[in-house]
Amino acid sequence: MVILKRIKKVLLYIMLGAVAVIQIYPVIWMILISFKDNNEIFSGNIMGLPKKLLWQNYVVAIRDAKVAVFFFNSVKVSAITLFVTICLSLTVAYAITRMGWKHSKTVLTFFLVGIMIPGQAIIMPIYELASRTHLLNTHFLLICVYTVFALPTSVYILSSFMSGLPRELEESAFIDGASIYRTFFSIIIPIIKPAIVSVLILNFIGVWNEFMFGFVLINTESLRTIPVGIQSLVGQYNTNWGPMGAAMVVATIPTIIIYTIFSGQIQNSLIVGSVKG
What is the per-residue binding string for another protein in 70-89, x denoting contact by CB under 8 A? ------------------xx
Q: Do the Cβ atoms of 153 and 276 come closer than 8 Å? A: yes
* 24 near another protein, rule: CB under 8 A: yes
**CA distance to 11, 105, 260, per residue, from 22 (Å):** 16, 46, 18
Three-class SS state of 66: coil
CB of 52 to another protein, least distance (A): 19
CB closer to another protein, 12 vs 59: 12
234 counts as binding another protein under rule CB under 8 A: yes
Burial (Cβ within 10 Å: 0-12, 13-18, ≥19) of residue 200: middle
**Interface residue with another protein, options 7, 11, 12, 191 (CB under 8 A):** 12
82-141 binders of another protein (CB under 8 A)? 88-89, 91-92, 94-96, 99, 101, 107, 110-111, 114, 116-129, 131
Could you say which residues in the range 141-200 bind another protein, by CB under 8 A?
A: 144-145, 147-149, 151, 155, 171, 174, 179-181
Cβ neighbours of residue 76 closer than 8 Å, sequence gap 6 or more: 139
Identify the DSSP state of 238: T
Give the nearest distance from C-beta 274 to another protein in angstroms. 6
Minimum CB separation of residue 114 from another protein in Å reads 6
Give the shortest CB-224-to-another protein separation in angstroms.
11
Under the binding rule (CB under 8 A), the answer on residue 219 touching another protein is no
Rounded-to-integer distance, Cα 201 and Cα 273, Å: 10
Distances in Å between the alpha carbon of 86 and those of 69, 115, 148?
A: 26, 16, 12
